[in-house]
Amino acid sequence: MPSIGVFALQGDVREHVHTLQRLGVDAFTVRRPDELARCDALVLPGGESTTMYKLARTFDLFEPLVERIRGGMPTFGTCAGMIMLADRIEDGIDGQETLGGLDITVRRNAFGRQVDSFEGDIDVAGLGDPVHAVFIRAPWVEQVGESVEVLATIPAGEAAGRIVAVRQGSLMATSFHPEVGDDDRIHRYFVDLVKQS
Ligand code: GLN
């Protein structure tokens, strides 16, 4: 089983660690470069991307993370983690930078103007039955590059068609929080991707 770290300077870390452990993965928290060095793959959790950015800089994790992601380490970002993985960001604040890797443009707090947080069932490519997705001040993907596969969009309502899950090689990201609840299919999808790479 692969060793998968969860970026743990900020965000909903425990839920990801527990979900990965349930799948039999060697999962642990990453706060320091030596912990990052142990990772075969990484999860960037939900939380607050501006704070994650600042803390990653403060704790000298920013550049090592950029290097590992560029070097091909499989990485899964949820919500704020999706923002961290995006090459381009709309509505970032305070000179906020991202780690990048995914050829997408994300819009922070994109659903905020309509409704802050909501839940719904959405189809995710390759997963069969819909996933019950929880969105909390979530971003959406405004634009994707050629090599990005769209895995899920909002099915109905004002935001219908908005992209909320993507994959590019061994990088993947969701706007929603698959670590909430006990449906572990999205994490399983990522673990399979890690095993293949
Ligand atoms: N709005 C947050 C941000 O911009 C993301 C919210 C979340 O991760 N639940 O980072």
Token digits of residue 82: 């999706």
**What tens digit of pLDDT does each residue of 136-145 get?**
999 999 999 9
Tell me how far apart the alpha carbons of residues 88 and 101 are, in angstroms, rounded to a whole number.
10
Q: Is the CB of 46 under 6 A from ligand 1?
A: yes
**What tens digit of pLDDT does each residue of 18-65 get?**
999 999 999 999 999 999 999 999 999 999 999 999 999 999 999 999
**Cα-based distances in Å from 129 to 23, 121, 180, 183, 184:** 19, 9, 17, 11, 13
Q: Whose CA is nearest to atom 5 of ligand 1?
A: 80
Strands 171-174 and 75-78 turn out to be parallel
Token digits of residue 67: 């290097």
Q: Is the CB of 137 under 6 A from ligand 1?
A: yes
Overall domain count for the chain: 1
Q: Is the CB of 166 under 6 A from ligand 1?
A: no
Best substitution site from 6, 44, 49, 174 to test ligand 1's pocket, by max atoms within 8 Å of Cβ?
49
Q: Is the CB of 48 under 6 A from ligand 1?
A: yes
Tell me the three-class secondary structure of the chain, residue by residue: CCEEEEECCCCCHHHHHHHHHHCCCEEEEECCHHHHHCCCEEEECCCCHHHHHHHHHHCCCHHHHHHHHHCCCCEEEECHHHHHHEEEEECCCCCCCCCCCEEEEEECCHHHHCCCEEEEEECCCCCCCCEEEEEECCCEEEEECCCCEEEEECCCCCCCCCEEEEEECCEEEECCCCCCCCCCHHHHHHHHHHHHC
pLDDT at 95: 87
What does residue 121 show for φ and ψ, rounded to 5 degrees?
-90, 125
Range of the domain at 184: 3-196
CA of 193 to the centre of ligand 1 (A): 25
Domain CATH for 73: 3.40.50.880
Exposed/middle/buried for 23, CB within 10 Å: 0-12, 13-18, 19+?
middle
> Which atom of ligand 1 is closest in space to residue 81's alpha carbon?
8
Q: Which residue has the higher pLDDT, 93 or 86?
A: 86
39 noted as active-site residue: no
ipTM score above 0.90: yes
Whether residue 114 is predicted with pLDDT greater than 60 in this model: the reply is no
